[in-house]
Amino acid sequence: MPIEPENTRVSLKYTVRLETGEIVKGDPARGLAHVEFVTGYNQVLPTLERKVIGLSEGEELEFSVPPEDSFGPYNPSLVQEKTFAEFPQGKDLEEGRWVRATNLDHLVSFGYKVVEKRADRVMLDYNHPLAGKTLFYKVRIEKISEVGKEDLELLKPCEHARP
């Protein structure tokens, strides 16, 4: 049974590395990463989903995903300097660390890297850690199965809730 463009449950193991060889996810020596998704519902990177369409269980594939199709290009304007007067929390941050913050007014969560910390200010990078980087995937299709009506109701409740 090959993977169809819609309503196929796919379980795969994978490795993602950068051009430098650095492994981002799924170290072959320690264990590959695993993901399960249903095609047609934007649950994984669109390029990953498109590349596995038509494959069958046991098949392997290697491909690259450019920044435009993953986490976008690196945007220098997303590196911002904040004084401790405007951003008092910056005093407690550690240079080189990633921080996750939540805006309680809007319930939006975002991350940033503390690029540099000075006596009175901090430099923050709001780019995704993989922005501007080409991702190199190696995937193996572990299991393919049909999706039942009950699962479809969970994935697309509005379409099935019509009277």
Over the stretch 52-97, which tens digit does the pLDDT of each residue have? 999 999 999 999 999 999 999 999 999 999 999 998 988 999 999 9
- The pLDDT of 124-143, averaged and rounded, is 97
What's the CATH number where 86 sits?
2.40.10.330
Mean pLDDT, the chain, as a whole number?
91
Question: How confident is the model at residue 156, as a pLDDT?
Answer: 62
Do residues 12 and 60 both lie within one domain?
yes
Tell me which long-range contacts 37-40 makes (C-beta under 8 A, separation of at least 24).
Answer: 37/9, 37/10, 38/7, 38/8, 38/9, 38/10, 38/147, 38/151, 38/155, 39/3, 39/4, 39/5, 39/6, 39/7, 39/8, 39/10, 40/5, 40/6, 40/7
Do residues 117 and 144 both lie within one domain?
no
Please give the structure tokens belonging to residue 32. 């590959």
Question: How confident is the model at residue 57, as a pLDDT?
Answer: 98
Q: What is the DSSP letter of 162?
A: -
Provide the domain limits for residue 112: 78-125
Residue 159 binned pLDDT confidence (cut-offs 50, 70, 90): very low
CA distance 57 to 45: 20
| Domain contains 154 | yes
| Domain contains 51 | yes
Please give the structure tokens belonging to residue 83. 């004084």
Distances (CA, A) of 14 to 33, 61, 63, 135, 142: 5, 10, 11, 12, 10
| Domain contains 2 | no
Please give the structure tokens belonging to residue 158. 């509005």
CA atoms within 13 A on the CB side of 23: 12
What's the CATH number where 140 sits?
3.10.50.40
Residue 38 binned pLDDT confidence (cut-offs 50, 70, 90): very high
| Selected residue with higher pLDDT from 47 and 163 | 47
Domain count, the chain: 2
Residue 157 binned pLDDT confidence (cut-offs 50, 70, 90): very low
pTM: 0.81
